[in-house]
Structure 1
């Protein structure tokens, strides 16, 4: 195991822990949404939210392992989850969370490049791709349902 000691790596670890907490929160948010969504949209949105939760879990696992590898202590605290019940509110809230996640990962890519961690950079790019697909699907759902 390689141990890094630079300030840049410490900053990267802090950022990755922020991302990890957000992924935990997103996973919980999606599971919450899947459990409370109702009405005509339930048949479509429940499986959608459940699938998205699985993606966020994979992201969280990767981030946790990377933080540990870099010599940090992975966070165990999720970002706060919003209690929403309306379909439109659920989708708008998760859309904003996806946008925020993409922005954070772009910053983390720059930090990964600064410390020379190309594997992390590439993985974050893949995670941005996942989050972008989530974002676009939510945008389609909002548009198609005139929500």
Structure 2
């Protein structure tokens, strides 16, 4: 059972993995927003920028929770992979969102096992956002010419 301000090393490690991922994709999506050109820029760049900002807000929220639980938030992102063209960018984004969905379901499970209702609730909300991002990227990918 989690006491106020305490969590297992396993849960704190998972939260740091989530932070590293959120920092990674916030930079990745912002650079994709900057680097898209032509009609694609008009159609996608605003959404990429919006999602990038949402991901940074997730990183902040997770970092605040980790700090409360006695952990130190990482400042090191997972590897950033912008992509050389739109298809490569969006394919990578789909993979990154799938990884996030898997990780966040695991965090919810561990938090529930430890009786940490607040962390579980935070990640349920973030998971919903990640599923929406995944839906956006898969929809874009389906519409791209081969």
TM-score range, shorter chain: over 0.9
What corresponds to 2:103 in structure 1?
A: 104
**Bigger mean CA deviation after superposition, 77-86 or 43-52:** 77-86
Deviation of 1:10 after TM superposition, in Å, equals: 1.1
**Bigger mean CA deviation after superposition, 91-100 or 77-86:** 77-86
What corresponds to 2:16 in structure 1?
A: 17
Query: Retained in 2: the 8 A contact 1:34–1:45?
Result: yes
Mapped partners of 1:47, 1:3: distance in 2: 38
Query: Retained in 2: the 8 A contact 1:37–1:85?
Result: no
Structure 1 segments unaligned to the other structure (5+ residues)? none
What corresponds to 2:67 in structure 1?
A: 68
User: 1:109-141 CA deviation, whole Å, 9 max, x = no partner?
Assistant: 111011111111111111111000010111111
Mapped partners of 1:124, 1:83: distance in 2: 26
What corresponds to 2:5 in structure 1?
A: 3
Instruction: Write out the 4+ residue segments of structure 1 that deviate beyond 4 Å after TM superposition.
Output: none
Query: Retained in 1: the 8 A contact 2:29–2:82?
Result: no
Query: Retained in 2: the 8 A contact 1:36–1:85?
Result: no
What corresponds to 2:57 in structure 1?
A: 58
Number of aligned residues: 144
Q: What does 1:1-147 correspond to in 2, within 5 Å? A: 2-4=4-6, 9-146=8-145
Mapped partners of 1:3, 1:130: distance in 2: 26
Structure 2 segments unaligned to the other structure (5+ residues)? none
Query: Retained in 2: the 8 A contact 1:24–1:57?
Result: yes
User: 1:58-114 CA deviation, whole Å, 9 max, x = no partner?
Assistant: 110111001100001111111110141301111100010000000000110111011
Normalising by structure 1, we get a TM-score of 0.92
Q: CA RMSD in A?
A: 1.5
